[in-house]
Amino acid sequence: MANRIRASVVQAATAAYSLSDTLDKLERLTRVAKERDGAQLVVFPEAFIGGYPKMSNFGMSVGVRRPEGRDEFVGYYNAAIEIPSPTIARLEGLSRELDVFLVVGVIERDLGTLYCTAVFVDPVQGYVAKHRKLVPTAMERTIWGRGDSSTLPVLDVNFRKPQSEELIAKTKISATICWENYMPLLRTFYYSKGTQIYCAPTVDARPFWQHTVTHIALEGRCFVLSACQYAEEKDYPAGHAVTDDPERSPNNVMIAGGSVIISPLGKVLAGPLLGEEGVITAELDLDDIARGKFDLDVTGHYARPDGLQKGAAILKNCVPHLQNLFSVISMASTSTTPTKTSTTGLMDKVLTYTPHSQLPVSTTSSPRRRKTRSEPQKGGKETVIGKQMHGISSKKRLESSGRTIYNVSRPSQAAEASQRQAFRQGTLGREVRRPLSSLSKSSMVNASEEKMAGMGDVSIGSGRDTPCAVAGLALGEPSLSGLVRETSWTTVMDNMFEEFIDTRQCL
């Protein structure tokens, strides 16, 4: 098996939104690719059938849709095609007659919604699949709907010798439209499905686009066939919006082209074609794909799903809780003068957010220690978690607030450092190191009412949860593995960092 095919990319514009004229143009250019260059695969640009309405705003601004814009949309709507339709049948006939596989950008009409779509037409099977653009870009979202996962085909395509059943190549073909190519997960999806000929219909004529498609070819170790429109003002209906209305001219460029064919090792095989309509063609040696995979297969030997899955799990658990974590740290740091009478309520998740950049950095020997902004006075007490409630004189009023009220006393700095070190060495607090998920709320309250030698006193107001269980609840995760009780705020924070995750990875 030769394992080589010839592929062409067409650079041309829609014929002024005229469906019949555009189909005639498509047929003419496909014949050029076949008869002049011997193409077996031909790729057309984004929105070639139906048109790309460059510079149109369809009479829209925020909060306003003008009647003239609705009238303009009627013309655009009528230029779109349905699938199936006589237009698709004509593409099937052309593909069969010339024995070429077609990938064509169209504007698809499905009931009342338009989609930017690429259709795949096989010379033997006819229409086989379509791909709808997942995310229209910017103003495109006002005229096109969004595709979904039901139209993400990677097609197995067989190429045979002309007028023969002899197989010369088997390959996998996909299409990714314009700025979909900036969606890393979509690219990775196609790589994981083994795409080998990565078609990229577009209207992005910026010089940067060449870097984009070269990167994709190198990253995916696939052939990239990027087909861009080349359009001038004369290719649009009369009165269509233009870049500079006072300087209208039929030859003013609207879309500048830049169609290109790139190999799996980043070599430009044809193009980029600039400043004119035309057809570019290259021979694709499909063995180049294996040559490229030799040292880079981003969904195979060059992938690290084990590391990425761990990272994803960390983020999944960490990100939803970071705001609450920052809030707890923030509120524990706001009081500069600890008092014995201040009481605090369990956070109700409506808390002030403090960015990590504003949190103080630890100056102790432990890399996981983060100091609060307020330094405790020797032997004093410090309010640690929740919304401060001052001047409350009755337990009934505390209970009516629906919050847990408690005080936490704090030892001297020297005693605290000694106890924290003992805890880290496992000689202190071992008897209360149990997963929160294994305890009932009542047992948490009971545990919190105990005293630990040298750690200070703990008192509960109208309690439902313990001061140390707050560490888990403040993160929104009462089931997190951690200590059931600690009376030192610093030890609670140390445990939060050590038992949950190494928080530095998330901050």
Report CA dihedral (231, 236, 242, 244) to the nearest 10 degrees: 80
Residues 404-423 have a mean pLDDT of 57
Q: Evaluate whether 108 touches 78 at the Cβ level (below 8 Å).
A: no
> Token pair 């057809």 is at which residue?
279
**Greater pLDDT, 475 or 320:** 320
Q: How many CB atoms lie within 10 A of CB 506?
A: 16
Give residue-wise pLDDT tens across range 452-506: 333 333 333 333 333 333 333 333 434 333 333 333 445 554 554 444 433 333 3
Give the residue with greater pLDDT, 264 vs 419. Answer: 264
Are 421 and 464 contacting, i.e. CB atoms less than 8 angstroms apart? no
Counting Cα atoms < 13 Å in the Cβ hemisphere of 489 gives: 28
Q: Is 499 a catalytic residue?
A: no
The string of pLDDT tens digits covering residues 346-381 is 333 333 444 444 544 444 444 444 444 444 444 444
pLDDT for the residue 457: 35
Which pLDDT band holds residue 321 (cuts at 50, 70, 90)? low
Q: Where are the domains of the chain?
A: 4-303, 306-505
Residue ranges of the alpha helices (H) in 178-271? Answer: 184-192, 208-220
Report pLDDT for 9.
98
Q: What is the mean pLDDT of residues 6-22?
A: 95
Question: What is the DSSP secondary-structure string of 402-439?
Answer: TS-EEEEB---HHHHHHHHHHHHTTSSSGGG---GGGS
Q: Is 184 exposed, middle or buried (0-12, 13-18, 19+ CB in 10 A)?
A: exposed
| Contacts of 468-474 spanning 24+ positions with Cβ under 8 A | 468/492, 468/495, 469/436, 469/444, 470/328, 470/346, 470/347, 470/385, 470/386, 470/404, 471/495, 471/496, 472/436, 473/346, 473/347, 474/324, 474/325, 474/327, 474/328, 474/347, 474/385
Q: Which CATH code, of 3.30.460.10, 3.60.110.10, 3.40.50.970, 3.30.300.10, is assigned to 4-303?
A: 3.60.110.10
Which pLDDT score, from 0 to 100, does residue 246 have? 87
pLDDT band at 316 (very low <50, low <70, confident <90, very high): low
Question: Torsions phi, psi of 158, nearest 5?
Answer: -105, 135
* DSSP codes of every residue in 155-201: EEEEEE-TTS--EEEEEEEEE--GGGGG-HHHHHHHHHTT-SEEEEE
| Candidate ranges 118-132, 245-259, 297-311, 471-485; pick with highest mean pLDDT | 118-132
More confidently predicted of 351 and 272: 272
Collapsing DSSP to helix, strand or coil, 504 comes out as helix
Beta-strand pair 60-61/197-202: unpaired
Q: What is the pLDDT of residues 68-83, one digit of tens each?
A: 999 999 999 999 999 9
Among residues 27, 46, 431, 449, the one annotated as catalytic is 46
The per-residue pLDDT for range 165-198, each reduced to its tens digit, is: 788 899 999 999 999 999 999 999 999 999 999 9
Q: Please, what is the average pLDDT of the chain?
A: 74
In this predicted structure, what is the pLDDT of residue 243? 86
- Residue 499 is classified by DSSP as I
pLDDT value, residue 165: 78
Q: Hey, what amino acid is at 158?
A: N
- For residue 444, pLDDT over 50 is answered with no
- At 381 the pLDDT is 41
Q: What pLDDT is recorded for position 238?
A: 87
Look at 338 and 248; give whichever has higher pLDDT. 248
Q: How far apart are CA 440 and CA 216, in angstroms?
A: 54
Q: What is the pLDDT of residue 104?
A: 98
What is the pLDDT, as a whole number, of residue 239?
86
Spatial separation of the C-alpha atoms in residues 506 and 320, rounded to whole Å: 11
Assigned token pair, 476: 């929104």
